[in-house]
Amino acid sequence: MSKTILVTGGAGFIGSHICEMYLKEGYETICIDNLVFGKRENINNLEENSHFKFYEVDIRNYDELERIFKKHHPEIINHHAAQKSVANSVENPMYDLENNLCGLINILNLVKKYPIKNFIYVSSGGALSKEIIGEEKSTEIYTPQLVSPYAITKFAGEKYLSIYSKEYSFNYTGLRYANVFGPRQIPDGECGVIPIFINNVLDDRASILMTYADMPRGCTRDYVYISDRN
């Protein structure tokens, strides 16, 4: 009997690829997304698969979430749903808090009633790095800078998982992605520079790079392709 996985934010750029991967590996895949950032067309082809089920649900809605937990009893949760913009978190910190932390706690409270085995939490790579000086590198042992509401809620989410995993006896993994790129990506923000560059090339437009006086070489960022596993 195949395991059941719940993917939050499963209609988004990354989440839809995650759902595809799980289906290929034989999992019963339950996808929830409020379609604020996600797109229905990202998962249209998946709905033909009998092992896939989509619910248009907001993770802030505890009652709707419970109906899904009660019906499907997922063994694994892959939590991608989030407010993803650092800039937006500064402009609207309450919305960031409600989505990135209150939504997570809704799910964790349901885990108490409907036990799981594993929880995969998508945190942040860049937002949770330490202050970089020169050629330094940031590793997981360093305390993040926490210079935005987004960084604070993502880091707090890691800490909540640490507590809840011990309390309710499940394993968890926190993923601090680098900037991910690939098919179905929205061309906006620093993560979306690859499709922005490609669109500029196709439209015969120049791509403009910004630098600062103290950063004559510009910013350095890590990018990972959506289907890479290593």
Q: Does one domain contain both 165 and 206?
A: no
* Residue 160: burial class (beta carbons within 10 Å; 0-12, 13-18, 19+): middle
What length does the chain have?
230
Q: What's the pLDDT tens digit per position in 48-90?
A: 999 999 999 999 999 999 999 999 999 999 999 999 888 888 9
CA dist 82 → 60, 153, 217 (Å): 11, 10, 32
Q: Residue 16 — very low, low, confident or very high, per pLDDT cuts 50/70/90?
A: very high
Catalytic residues: 150
Q: What is the structure's pLDDT at 100? A: 94
Number of domains in the chain: 2
Determine, yes or no, domain membership for 78.
Answer: yes
Q: What's the pLDDT tens digit per position in 94-138?
A: 999 999 999 999 999 999 999 999 999 998 766 666 566 556 666
Domain residues for the domain of 202 are 181-225
Determine, yes or no, domain membership for 230.
Answer: no
The rounded distance, in Å, linking the Cα atoms of 127 and 148 is: 8
Which residues 6+ apart lie within 8 Å of 184 measured at CB?
Answer: 13, 16, 17, 39, 42
Q: Does one domain contain both 166 and 185?
A: no
